[in-house]
């Protein structure tokens, strides 16, 4: 392993120094370059593993537990082996670790896709409807511009937690133990499982149960932390963001997604709605196409605060 320990077995300062360097490199990679090619993207390979195991396991809750354990173990082990194999050069383990950590979050991709779809809603609604499934799982065929804008903002705020804040949170939390990368990879394995099999549809309800519940559990704390980061990112609407989060978070089916979505609604002063399912901030204005770039700006601020908080935690630990 690339992790260094002091002679008495305690995690030494070099571990934290390495963890800080890895985090900085991973964040820089993401912001400057975005996603790596699919052929070498770790999440793509996690998805292939999930699909392979799912085809060979019984579609039961027990099968789902086995699936979850195998995917988490394989992901963490593969990451550990890749970093260890790179040990023949002093700097290479850090670079490999940074690449693997970057794969667990996607700042540039989320902001870019949200911005592109928001712009297309304003310019070509038909094209926007065809692009929306990249972000949302609802039927987009009959969405109005306001409803489409709401869908983008909802997905942006929800994915801020699942796709950015949570992996960063677990990396920083476990880095002092020398297990930051392993924790982030384990979270990403669970998150990918949830996105692939964590549905209540026939054939997935049983085998996806363990992954979905694990995802709910792991996102529990980050989702609730997110409302304070969102509030701080828009300080003159901080009170409105927090009030909306505490009042409306329980309206969504997910125990976690309602927190960042409601906070975003309060911070922007708009009503977010999934027709037939929920409304967040009843008194808010209907979203306009101009609200999508406002939401992107809000999330940029929240993401910056998330990265800064993790850096400070790693620095002072």
User: Hey, how many other C-beta atoms are within 10 angstroms of the C-beta on 13?
Assistant: 11
Longest dimension (CA), the chain: 65
Taking 50 as the pLDDT cut, the residues of the chain under it are: 1-14
pLDDT at 16: 65
Residue that has been written with the tokens 């050069």 in this structure: 89
pLDDT at 43: 97
CB of 227 within 8 A of CB of 259?
Answer: yes
Cα separation, 230 vs 266, in Å, equals: 10
Residue 65 CA: distances (Å) to CA of 104, 209, 211: 22, 8, 8
Cα separation, 80 vs 83, in Å, equals: 5
Q: Where exactly are the structural domains of the chain?
A: 13-316
Cα separation, 161 vs 169, in Å, equals: 10
pLDDT at 204: 87
pLDDT at 4: 44
Which two structure tokens, joined as six digits, stand for 111? Answer: 């902001």
pLDDT at 10: 41
pLDDT at 9: 43
- Identify the burial level of 249 via C-beta atoms within 10 angstroms of its C-beta, where 0-12 means exposed, 13-18 middle and 19 or more buried: buried
pLDDT at 87: 85
pLDDT at 15: 66
């Amino acid at each position: 392993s690339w992790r260094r320990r002091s002679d008495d077995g305690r995690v030494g300062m070099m571990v934290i120094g390495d963890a800080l360097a890895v985090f900085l490199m991973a964040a820089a990679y993401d912001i400057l370059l975005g996603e790596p090619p699919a052929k070498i993207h770790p999440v793509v390979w996690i998805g292939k593993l999930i699909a392979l195991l799912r085809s060979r396991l019984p579609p039961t809750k027990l099968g789902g537990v086995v699936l979850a354990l195998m995917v988490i173990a394989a992901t963490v082990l593969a990451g550990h082996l890749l970093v260890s194999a790179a040990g023949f050069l002093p700097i290479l383990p850090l670079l490999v670790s940074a690449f693997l950590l970057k794969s667990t979050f996607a700042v540039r991709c989320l902001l870019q896709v949200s911005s592109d779809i928001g712009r297309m809603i304003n310019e070509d609604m038909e094209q926007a409807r065809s692009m929306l499934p990249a972000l949302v799982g609802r039927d987009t065929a009959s969405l109005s511009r306001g409803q489409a804008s709401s869908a983008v903002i909802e997905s942006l705020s929800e994915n801020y937690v699942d796709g950015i804040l949570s992996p960063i949170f677990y990396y920083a939390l476990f880095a002092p133990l020398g297990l930051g990368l392993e924790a982030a990879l384990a979270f990403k394995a669970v998150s990918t499982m949830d996105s692939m099999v964590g549905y209540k549809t026939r054939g997935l309800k049983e085998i996806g149960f363990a992954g979905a519940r694990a995802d709910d559990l792991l996102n529990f704390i980050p989702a609730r932390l997110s409302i304070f980061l969102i509030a701080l990112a828009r300080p003159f609407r901080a009170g409105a963001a927090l009030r909306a989060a505490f009042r409306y978070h329980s309206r969504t089916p997910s125990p976690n997604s309602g927190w960042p979505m409601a906070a975003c609604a309060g911070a922007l002063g708009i009503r977010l709605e999934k027709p037939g399912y929920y409304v967040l901030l009843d008194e808010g204005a209907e979203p306009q196409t101009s609200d999508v770039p406002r939401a992107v700006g809000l999330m940029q601020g929240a993401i910056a605060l998330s990265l800064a908080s993790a850096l400070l935690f790693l620095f002072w630990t």
